[in-house]
Structure 1
């Protein structure tokens, strides 16, 4: 085609003066997505009619609300702080944004955990905590990481093995309590009460250290505990009746510790607190300087450390499973299960969800399996007896 031919293809053209060209008006854009819900008669929002006109006053929090929100974010679980701390450190090394993170960053971090050879349950817990820490509407897509995890699970069978705590049953618990209070010091009184309570309460260590004096009533034969809620009963208050036992001496140990706190002028706030070497209790002001997040409340890790200390001090041995504060909960459940407690009684004592398989499968069955030996039914082979025949 020649230039002349191209010119001949122009038809219906019209010359206009400068400034007469007008851009065609664009149709209004619909401001909807898959979450849009309209009521009968309500107009579909468009770019020409977007709806209410928001100002800065509709977007910025006032100072009081912003402060309260910041404090609420700081009072998060130790597990979440650990997971996010590790994730943020890794993101800093990689030069990537940690919060809110992209799906790509989220997936790569999961692969990083797999390359470290972590347990499947640990990886899933970390990734769940990280994802739930992201702002609303900005959570990463977990489908890619779960695809990698499925492959990792198939190729690394050892990564499926759970890390179970050694159950601290009464034969282990009683020597630990006696060792703790052997020197008759306040810190030993606290620890023996904490051990007895942890076993009978069947609580998680965070529940033990979050307990307030106002929520505990010590009677002559039992300890009453009021709970606003727990991990499996959100928004459901409970009153627990912890009956005492001769070998546990829960009432004596809790009363001795609470009476000592009262002598120090402490009748409210956390039950279990820091004790100095001289036996005194640090003031709230002193604790606030060193424990900026927990204040007067002990860290759950403190319970863990004291359990390990007194287990070793009592010269006790495990079957290879690690000693931790969770062993108190495991020990109580194991003692119940091994002494014919029903499923309902186990669930009630440990506040597990109705129908939960955890107490039976994790605490009772392993002990019964270890003791069961079907080959006991087989007579011992005696070659001499065969010769005589």
Structure 2
């Protein structure tokens, strides 16, 4: 008699017969085989070389650990997986290192034999809290307005370095730039408006398009540096004004 094919998720409608092995389709080699072109695509879909090397190293270390512990490496059990995570935590590895390490191990397993990650996430969450408390970095105090004024007052406006430093301080404080954004700014990336300054931040880390973005600046930024850094014809502020004047007749 054919064996029923049911589990805890099976739902039968009124009058419907219980499915058995006799109702299951019969697969042949044709159903399981792919063409040479498809096989090539499957081979080419592998991870980048550096990622593959990293995963191979992690999986090799995991296999060695399993052999020392007398455990089966592949496919391994959830208990083995969790025990390995706990061992990495005991060695005080960083959270990202543990996550990357165990990802390489988990993806090594057959898809239908991969253990759950509920227990792993639980112990990693507790470790994350402990790690944060033990490795918290004390940040530098914020620069207040009096502190900013004191720093700006030290800039000698008779020297190019003083003009540069004053501009950097005011632009950076007004727009809350990162250091790399300030260092990469060119004169042409700054447009002085009547109400303030606009900055063009090129290839910013927070920009997913990596095409640059406009970032509003500070209304308190002085124009001495821009006025003295370039000639009258090249000054961005004058270029903006000239473009606006030329656009006004067309708009009318």
Higher relative contact order (CA 8 A, sep 6+): 1
* TM-score normalised by the chain length of structure 2: 0.45
* TM-score normalised by the chain length of structure 1: 0.31
